[in-house]
């Protein structure tokens, strides 16, 4: 995207896509599962009938995508989670994680039930190292040089999934959607990160507003089953 296109996006009214992750004190989800669930939640709202055509969320989705693509992850538990669940949106379940995504709202116009939720405190861990990438799953590669909270990383994974969706052809989109968006989030091997960022694959560049300096955060790569043309050549 050129600097002129970026400037035009910044001049438009700004919207944000809210995501809320359920984090109960006694049963927090694992970090990788939360990241993967957030990425699938973004894809679910992008493809929901309410977001398309004359759907009730379509104008908000268009306004959001015409400006700078912003996502913010907040956390909830107990009654907070139940109140958030009463608002229009989509809840996506992972192995342990629950993430609810809502139609975009103005940057300074969050519903009160969401505005009071905390952004901080989304520090999650993986009890064990994530396993191998499942067969056929696309991969969202996280910059190995960054230290991000789980909430920040969830937003970045969502960005990566969205860019990959945009880069896919219609047949790959249809197949991926029908399969339930199989994907994996993994930290990129340090030795592969330079090649990934230079590959021309969908690349997320963070603006540096929170937590980290501006720069690349995620590279999205297809699989042998979905978008095989969007893969890094390997020996």
DSSP string, the chain: --HHHHHHHHHSPPEEEEEEEE-BTTBPPPHHHHHHHHHHHHHHHHHSGGGSTT-TTHHHHHHHHHS---EEEEEE-HHHHHHHHTSS-EEEE-SS-EEEE---EETT---HHHHTSBSS------SS---PPPTT-EEEEEPTT----HHHHHHHHHHHHHHHHHHS-HHHHHHHHHTT--EEEEEPPTTTHHHHHTS-S-EEEE--SSSS-SEEEEEEE--SSS-TTSS----
* Residue 130, CA atoms < 13 Å, CB-side half-sphere: 20
Distance, CA of 184 to CA of 171 (rounded, Å): 21
User: Domain for residue 228, yes or no?
Assistant: no
Q: What percent of the chain has pLDDT over 70?
A: 94
* Average pLDDT of every residue of the chain: 92
The pLDDT score that the predictor gives to residue 13 is 75
pLDDT over 70 (residue 139): yes
Q: Is residue 183 situated within a structural domain?
A: yes
- What CATH number corresponds to the domain at position 55? 3.40.1490.10
pLDDT tens figures, 145-160 = 999 999 999 999 999 9
Inside any domain, residue 180: yes
pLDDT class of 6 with cuts at 50, 70, 90: very low
Query: What pLDDT sits at residue 68?
Result: 79
Tell me, yes or no, whether 94 lies in a domain.
yes
Cα separation, 234 vs 191, whole angstroms: 12
Question: Which residue in the block uniquely carries the two structure tokens 């969007």?
Answer: 230
Question: Bigger pLDDT: 209 or 74?
Answer: 74
pLDDT band at 10; cut points 50, 70, 90 = low
Q: Is residue 14 part of a domain?
A: yes
Mean pLDDT of 62-73: 88
Q: How many domains does the chain have?
A: 1
Give this prediction's pTM: 0.93
Task: Establish if 114 belongs to a structural domain.
Answer: no
| Token pair in block for residue 206 | 């963070």
The answer to whether residue 226 sits within a structural domain is no
Is the pLDDT reported for residue 164 higher than 90? yes
230 inside domain: no
Assign residue 227 a region (left: φ > 0; alpha: ψ between -120 and 50; beta: otherwise).
left
Rounded-to-integer distance, Cα 143 and Cα 222, Å = 17
Q: What values do phi and psi take at 79, rounded to 5? A: -65, -30
- Give the domain range for residue 189: 3-107+124-221
* Measured distance CA(218)–CA(161) in Å, rounded: 9
pLDDT at 2 over 50: no
Q: Which residue has the higher pLDDT, 14 or 50?
A: 50
């Amino acid at each position: 995207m050129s600097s002129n296109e970026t400037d035009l996006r910044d001049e438009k009214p700004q919207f944000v896509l809210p995501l809320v992750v359920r984090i109960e004190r006694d049963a927090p989800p694992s970090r990788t599962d939360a990241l993967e669930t957030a990425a699938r939640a973004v894809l679910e709202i992008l493809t929901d009938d309410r977001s398309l055509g004359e759907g009730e969320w379509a104008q908000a989705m268009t306004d959001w995508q015409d400006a700078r693509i912003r996502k913010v992850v907040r956390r909830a538990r107990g009654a907070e989670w139940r109140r958030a669940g009463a608002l229009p949106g989509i809840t996506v379940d992972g192995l342990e994680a629950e993430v609810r995504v809502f139609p975009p709202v103005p940057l300074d116009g969050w519903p009160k039930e969401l505005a009071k939720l905390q952004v901080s405190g989304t520090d999650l861990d993986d009890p064990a190292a994530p396993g191998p990438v499942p067969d056929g799953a696309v991969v969202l590669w996280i910059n190995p040089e960054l230290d991000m909270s789980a909430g920040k990383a969830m937003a970045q994974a969502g960005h990566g999934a969205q860019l990959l969706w945009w880069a896919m052809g219609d047949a790959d989109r249809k197949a991926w959607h029908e399969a339930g968006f199989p994907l994996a989030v993994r930290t990129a091997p340090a030795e592969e990160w330079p090649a990934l960022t230079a590959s021309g694959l969908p690349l997320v560049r963070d603006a540096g507003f929170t937590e980290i300096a501006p720069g690349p955060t995620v590279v999205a790569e297809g699989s042998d089953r979905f978008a095989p043309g969007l893969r890094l050549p390997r020996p």
